[in-house]
Amino acid sequence: MTKPTPFTLHVADAEIADLRDRLARSRFPDAAPGEALSDPWAYGTDVAYLRGLVDYWRDGFDWRAEEAALNVFPQFRVPLDGIDLHYLHVPGVGENPMPLLLLHGWPGSVFEFVDIIPRLTDPARFGGDPRDAFTVIAPSLPGYGLSFKPGQKRYGVPEIADCVAALMHDVLGFSRFAAQGGDWGAAITSRLAYAHAEKMIGIHVNLWAAAGREASAFQNPTEEEKRYLGELARWTREESGYQWIQGTRPQTLSFALTDSPAGLAAWIVEKFRAWSDCDGDVERAISRDRMLADISFYWFTGAIGSSFWPYYARLHGSAILPPGAVITVPTGYAQFPREILKPPRSAIERVHTNIRRWTVMEKGGHFAALEQPDALAREVRAFFHELR
């Protein structure tokens, strides 16, 4: 197995200048009339908001500051499964810290974890118990960020799970480890618990990605299940269009978002706003600088097209779990109030048969590590405390 190589992120000055030049030449659509006059986000990203965001991205945003924030953490690259896998490896501060695989999703990146990692690796610094410390390994998912280069093979959820399991077990030498994730990270975490159960101490998720999405599974639904089915129907009707585009014609969309930074920002920021606990103002939940760090990371790495591939793979036969699969690994869940879907426990227990902790959180949405790093870190520490 090839040894990992230390890595420091540094985007060339010429690439930053090129981005600013492209932003200065952005073309914007008009704002649709009618309903959009009262709700400028009714048809998608608000034109006025995006104009202001692009202006700030061009003239006010400090990429070097965000780059430095990521470079605080030790980073590495290692040839693995035919690609160069990028990951953060941050040692825990405490006695015998537990190895924790921390997994992002779409449209996220390792920039999601800048604030939560210290709360997991050094809990005493934030009022926690040093005995609950983790050593955090946070990879850029294969096909995302710095785990992408043009022409490399594409990955669905099962292949990503196998790759990161090899990172933890074969490269880093952990016989057993914990995992936590949201969005695709939750799907990969569930897949790990199914396909690599013997390696898992336990898993924690803040989205149920491997169960509860099929309305046909609910026979004679309870009142709680009926409420959820209504939420699922609305989600399918109003919020799932991006999945169908990214899952059926990802290459076509990739042209636009790889060529236009304003278009890339519009596609991603609409999800930050729609899926966060922000009461319509995305910057109440996620700072403008951190959003732009994430969007810039997609831009500089050119990875937006390959980041769509798990959607395509899922729609074309690459299931997160095979039919009838169950997960017996100890499982914890944090239910944030503005998560995109919140299936009832009755549905989840058909797949996850060893749920040890189910916590309803006070505030937060889909991007829990970004929106509520303190609350999520406390919850993760509390769950794994019982498994040490």
Tell me the catalytic residues.
183, 312, 366
The Cα–Cα gap between 242 and 253 comes to 10
The Cα–Cα gap between 299 and 150 comes to 13
- List, edge to edge, every strand of the sheet that includes 5-7: 5-7, 75-80, 83-90, 134-139, 98-103, 177-181, 200-205, 331-335, 355-360
Amino acid at residue number 249: R
Q: Alpha helix locations (H) across 276-372?
A: 288-301, 304-307, 309-315, 345-348, 368-371
Q: Is the peptide bond between 107 and the residue preceding it cis, with omega within 30 degrees of 0?
A: yes
How does DSSP assign 47-61, residue by residue?
HHHHHHHHHHHHHT-
> From the centroid of its chain, how far is CA 281?
20
The Cα–Cα gap between 344 and 224 comes to 7
CB of 208 closer than 8 Å to CB of 341 = yes
The Cα–Cα gap between 197 and 19 comes to 44
